[in-house]
Amino acid sequence: MKIPMVSDYLEQSLAVQKVAKSFAGHQVQRMVGFWFLWHVFGGHDGLIESAVLSRASVYRQEVEFLVMFKKEVSDMWPHISEPIATERREAAEKEESKK
């Protein structure tokens, strides 16, 4: 019977870390994408009304976002989200003026 060496455990640990980093990176990218959609479509109601994501998906990702970042989607990166909101309002006003 082979006695496990510390290096064996270290190699296993490094392999797990690589997988964890890859998984975490994917999750963060997905949540940042959700944050972007949230602001482009005007928040919770706008995202649901647009039907880009299902209602269940919006609720699920809201919770995931809160768990991951410890902040509500609307409270994250206000210095970036404000210009997005301004652009969205201006586009809506421009569209309304065409009617």
- Annotated domain spans of the chain: 11-98
Which pair of structure tokens corresponds to residue 13?
């640990």
3-44: per-residue pLDDT in tens? 655 566 566 667 667 767 777 888 888 999 999 999 999 999
Q: What is the pTM of this model?
A: 0.72
Residue with tokens 């404000």: 82
Rounded to whole angstroms, the maximal C-alpha distance in the chain is 81
Residue 65's pLDDT band, with cuts at 50, 70 and 90, is: very high
Angle at 87 between CA 86 and CA 90, to 5 degrees: 85
* Residue 53 DSSP label: S
